[in-house]
Chain A
Amino acid sequence: MKFTIGWLKEHLDTQIQDNGLIEKLTDIGLEVESYEYLNSDLDNFKVAKIINAEQHPNADRLRICDVDIGQENTVKVVCGAPNAKKDLLTVYAGPGSIIPKNNMKLTVSKIRGVTSYGMLCSESELNLSDESEGITELKTTKYSDKIGKNFFKNKSEKVVDLSVTPNRPDCLGVRGIARDLAAAGAGKLKNISNKNIKKNGSQTIKVSITKEKNQGCTVFGSCLITGVTNKESPKWLKEKIISLGQKPISAIVDITNYVMLDLNRPLHAYDADKIDKEIIVRNSKKSETFEALDNKEYKLGDDMCVISDKSGVLGLGGIIGGTRSGTEINTKNILLESAYFIPRSIRKTSKLLNIDTDAKFRFERGIDPRSIELGLSKAAELISEICGGKTSNFDIQKTDKHEKNKIKFNVSLFEKITGFKVDDNEIVKILTDLGFEVSKKKLELDLKIPTWRPDIIQPIDIVEEIVRIKGYNKIETLEPEKTKIKDTLNKQQKLFHFLQRSVASKGYFETVTWSFTDSKINNLFKENLKEIKIVNPISSDLDVLRNSIFTNLTFYLKKNLDRGFKDISLFEIGPIFKNSKPGEQLTVIGAIKSGKVSRLNWNEKERPVDVFDVKKDVIQTLVEAGYERKSFFIRDKSPSYYHPGKAGSVYLDKDDIEPVAYFGDIHPNIVKKLDIKTEGLVGFEIYLDHLKENKIKLKDQKPNFEYSDYQKSERDFAFIVDKNFKAQDLIEIISSIDQNLIRSIKIFDIYEGENIPDDKKSIAINVIIQSSEKTLEESDLEKINKLIISTVETKSGAKIRS
């Protein structure tokens, strides 16, 4: 909502300075977005300084000037003035400026092969004097701190731009704003000057509001003004319209707009001669059409509130008029409409037809249903004053009386909600000033709500009225209470934060990417999950919710590779979506790693990242989170976006049904499809929802501390096994032989090749044997050795390598 302070003062008698009023507006909840002069053509003329002036290479009399116009970079201007020299302060006009003297519009142009951005002006070009010999010379003392500022003072009035919240339609008119200010003690609301205009004869066009279900109109007021001369608006009216950044059209249109802005009372003027016999306010029928004032043809649905005549639809009530009955400059007789339309109906129709107009914006929020006649008189008065003509009596058709709503307000509620007390009499005064009718009954107030305040429905709304007018600064600042109702984080949340930092501590940069992604990339990672389309995506390449975190990670990894980074580790912890209902999402850590380990290293051999790098990170993260490494079980199954031979899944326990994590090389086909150029690309995912909660607190988890000081013995073995035999199984076989004696098992070599059959491999392991009861003798060790060999051979079909 835009207005000028001058206009405001037509409704408000006040001694307060403009800036004080601006502050007050914000204090009472009418937020001032800006308070500035409207842009004017003269704003293009800036105080500028020549930083450097060089000879033009192709013209003796021209110079190329570097000009400081108060912005980051200087601009280059070609100038023919003899006085254009270094350090001169002058007036610069940018491209698009219109030179006052000759109304010439400047463009960026090449002058003898050098591009000139704007020009430096002489006093004559600026209409300051006849001096046209050189460019304007400004005094250093006065202008040196004004570089980049406007050279011309703006003479127009400053415009206030209010951001009016949707609950306050009354403040979409200047008078409503004045009323609020008056209630807040910023002046006195003036009475509306009502020159009683002469009304002659009855309104001869019959108006009816049909009785039907979902009728969107409850009051339709009108009057006929005959014998008018429509013309250009007078200066004062044009200036008012222009001051709000709108375009004057004709006196009749400008007047209806003026009344709307002044009183928040939308009106519509019809050319009465174009109305076929009568006005019928009714519901539209499906497929009716009409051409609106925005020159578009609309096809209507059922039950839209239309104003029609015998031949058809004239306009959409409260939204937009039609071209058939619009006023023109030669219109002689007009029918003026002032009506009330139900907000719900307006909103429904405008949404369906996708129309947004000033009238719609207002009716949708709620117009005062009792301002019908006020609007008609104000407009009729102005029309007869400017355009002449005779005004008929007002015809008011109503299906609803629009009685004022009533509320009982218990004064104690105010203190209960705000924490401070306001004197009862002051409460009565504030409410009365806001337009409430108040009658006091002991502790209760009987209130009649002004009809321009559709937002006020229950006692809590009254509390807000009083506290906002009284000022939020009256509310005390109380010390926060520290009582806790439950733990800050639950177990799952703790796990989230722990894993997040655990992964980051392994050299990964955490990133946060959008929850939506490009369906083309998503398809590569979505497996058997459902694609979830966004109906109205921000762009076609962000059209689905992500089914995997790898979608965005791979996308941004590529971007960073393109920036010249090679060895990148990224991770994100966040939601992926299984389906489109609330809660059908999983929290996942996705991590990705590219390039090489020890690239260009002076003492270590470089190699591409591989599956065991990410396996280390994923396993260690789970161990740090408190899960037992010994019970982990690895399977060589993984989703299809991993390399089929170089990826696996992690189970917390062998018997678990769902894996908690995947790791491995990203499938080379995907790497190729995404055009990712790197030596190696590996990743892992951890599914937080699959991680079992550790029910026991750490303090109760630790077993007793037991240790053995008896001598340890080490034995090495090498077994020849089938090529696809898994190391994990070998370790499991050995560790289950005697858990009291076998303390650790370590694989230290895998060998395939010479001396080993093609379909076999050799696994070399180191076993540490220690008893907690005695020092083992050679014979004991020999026994366990044999047992290890025989058990492995029977259970796995392996052969000890001799």
Chain B
Amino acid sequence: MSDIKKIKDEYLNKLDNDLNIESVNQIKTQLFGKNGQISNFFKTLGSLPTDDRKKFASELNSIKDELQEKINSKLREIETKEINSKLVNEKVDVTLPEREINQGKIHPVSQVIDEISSIFSEIGFSVEEGPDIENEHYNFTALNTPDNHPARDMHDTFYLDNNKELLLRTHTSPVQVRTMLNGKPPFKIIAPGRTYRSDSDQTHSPMFHQVEGLHIDKEINMGHLKGCLNYFIKSFFEVDKIKMRFRPSHFPFTEPSAEVDIGYEIKNGKIVIGEGDKWLEILGCGMVHPNVLKNVKVNPDKYQGYAFGIGIDRLGMLKYGINDLRAFFETDYRWLNHFGFDPLDVPSNYRGLSR
């Protein structure tokens, strides 16, 4: 009996030493191999009297378990040590550059269109579109600008035929005409898109972007127009307060017509919107002219409402501090990288318009 305890203590001690895997396996054989010391004790079990056998077997088993557990933990310990020492040699320089990812960008015009759509979506507008090539009727005549009207001179038009029948739309307003002709009131739409005028200098580009707005219903008046634009400008520039000024103006397709200025000041060489005593013209608007409603088969005695047109590029320039309009369309890789937006940065109402 004391023999097995002795053996146990002896081997537990041995296993506390600093051993390699071979020596531990050797010990394992010495104890549990065919002729191992513990194995041999098991062989003697059969020759013991029944009473002793039970007691001894139980003791033997517990010692066996204890030794085996010790051996296993020793083996695990050695393995861990060996892996660790190997890892030291596997060290890499993690300050080396990561594998490349090509970061793409969304153009500021696209981002601003998404911002605008998101804001107007909140107050119930849906998005409509129209063709870039228009005929003279949709671009001018239906919009109460007949051929003999001097207001036509305000638009430098690109023509596609010598009869001046086909042209590149000079504004997004023809979408109003198309939308109303194809549907029934009420109408509540915005129409962003490309527009063209044969004008090219520092502040004019032959192509630019506009967003048209149109709200026609039974009782829509100039107060609603003011409210809508006030809401839009505040949301777009992400400010609580905005100084806005409606000035009487003239567009053939609205009556009364207005131009809208917003207040700004220059702080540290940057434009700050919403404060200051300087005015910046940002859009044109008005109540849709009864002649336009008649032209699109809407009864002006029953329905009325407002329309507006905003320069998208200009809004983007103001919000994101871009100085040169022409740069929008010049595809300078450096510019796109600098002013472009992450494609995952989708403007939305619940996540906020911009980061």
Interface residues of A (CB under 8 A from B): 26-29, 31, 165-168, 343-344, 347-348, 364-365, 416-420, 458, 460-461, 463-464, 467-468, 472-473, 475-490, 493, 497, 500-516, 532-538, 542, 545, 552, 556, 559-560, 563, 565, 568-570, 574-575, 577, 580-585, 598, 601-604
Contacts and interface: CB of A to CB of B under 8 A. Distances in A.
A505 B186 contact: no
B224 A480 contact: yes
**8 tightest CB-CB pairs across the interface, nearest first?**
A507-B102, A29-B248, A165-B250, A419-B223, A556-B331, A464-B256, A468-B248, A504-B343
A577 B135 CA distance: 15
Contacts of A512: 107, 109-110, 328-329
A693 B152 CA distance: 40
A491 to B, nearest CB: 12
Contacts of A461: 255
Contacts of B161: 535, 580
B317 interface: no
Contact of A580 (B127, B166, B200, B256): B166
B45 interface: no
A534 B132 CA distance: 13
B117 A489 contact: yes
B143 interface: no
Interface stretch (B25-33, B58-66, B264-272, B332-340): B332-340
Given A31-B247, A509-B104, A483 B331 contact: no
B286 to A, nearest CB: 9
Contacts of A458: 290
Nearest to B215: A481
Given A475-B246, A513-B331, A166 B206 contact: no
B127 A493 contact: yes
A538 B109 contact: no
B134 A582 contact: yes
Nearest to B145: A166
A571 to B, nearest CB: 8
B97 interface: yes
Nearest to A508: B104
Contacts of A584: 131, 133
A475 B132 CA distance: 35
B233 to A, nearest CB: 11
A418 B255 CA distance: 11
A676 to B, nearest CB: 14
B141 interface: no
A420 B346 CA distance: 40
Contact of B250 (A29, A463, A602): A29
B308 interface: no
B103 A507 contact: yes
A479 B227 CA distance: 5
- Grouping DSSP codes into helix (H, G, I), strand (E, B) and loop, the B interface class, with mixed when no group exceeds half, is mixed
* Most chain A beta-carbon neighbours within 10 Å: one of B106, B150, B153, B346: B150
Contact of A418 (B149, B207, B222): B222
Contacts of A485: 124, 126, 186-188
B11 interface: no
* Most chain B beta-carbon neighbours within 10 Å: one of A29, A473, A585: A29
A515 B222 contact: no
B295 interface: no
B348 to A, nearest CB: 11
B25 to A, nearest CB: 35
Contacts of B236: none
A538 B110 contact: no
Contacts of B245: 472-473
Given A166-B153, A514-B206, 20 more contacts: A31-B259, A165-B250, A343-B148, A417-B221, A418-B221, A458-B290, A464-B248, A472-B246, A476-B223, A477-B223, A485-B124, A488-B125, A504-B104, A507-B104, A510-B340, A512-B109, A536-B159, A556-B331, A575-B194, A585-B133
B41 interface: no
Nearest to B134: A582
Contacts of B200: 538
Interface in B290-341: 290, 304, 328-334, 336-337, 340
Contacts of B223: 418-420, 475-478
Given A28-B248, A458-B290, A535 B333 contact: no
Given A478-B227, A602-B96, A167 B250 contact: yes
Given A505-B344, A580-B160, A489 B186 contact: no
Interface of B: 96-97, 99-107, 109-110, 114, 117, 120-127, 129, 131-135, 138, 148-151, 153-154, 158-162, 166, 168, 186-188, 194, 196, 198, 200, 206-207, 219, 221-224, 226-228, 230-231, 245-250, 255-259, 287, 289-290, 304, 328-334, 336-337, 340, 343-344, 346
Contacts of A580: 133, 160-161, 166
A506 B149 CA distance: 50
Contact of A514 (B122, B149, B151, B207): B207
Contacts of B206: 514, 516, 538, 542
A515 B194 contact: yes
Contact of B336 (A348, A510, A516, A574): A510
B166 A581 contact: yes
B340 A585 contact: no
A505 B159 CA distance: 38
A321 B198 CA distance: 31
A763 B198 CA distance: 58
A585 B132 contact: yes
B168 to A, nearest CB: 7
Contact of A481 (B124, B138, B162, B196): B124
A532 B159 CA distance: 11
Contact of B230 (A418, A477, A534): A477
A461 B107 CA distance: 42
B123 A481 contact: yes
A509 B227 contact: no
Contact of B231 (A480, A568, A603): A480
Given A509-B105, A512-B110, A464 B255 contact: yes
13 contacts: A418-B221, A418-B223, A420-B223, A472-B246, A478-B226, A479-B227, A481-B124, A485-B186, A504-B106, A505-B104, A510-B336, A510-B340, A511-B331
A705 B24 CA distance: 52
Nearest to A559: B331
Contacts of A569: 102, 104
Given A29-B249, A460-B255, A560-B331, A585 B131 contact: yes
Contacts of A476: 223, 226
Contacts of A168: 250
Given A417-B221, A475-B223, A488 B127 contact: yes
B222 A467 contact: yes
Contact of A482 (B124, B198, B304): B124
A475 B343 contact: no
Contacts of A601: 100
Contacts of A348: 148
A417 B222 contact: yes
Contact of B247 (A26, A511, A563): A26
Given A478-B227, A582-B133, A489 B127 contact: yes
A483 B105 CA distance: 34
A490 B124 CA distance: 14
B104 A510 contact: yes
B289 A460 contact: yes
Nearest to A365: B150
A510 B331 CA distance: 9
Given A467-B256, A500-B110, A509 B336 contact: yes
A515 B207 contact: yes
Nearest to B147: A347
A563 B150 contact: no
B333 A515 contact: no
Contact of B337 (A482, A483, A509): A509
Contacts of B250: 29, 165-168
Contacts of A484: 124, 126, 188
Given A488-B117, A515-B207, A480 B248 contact: no
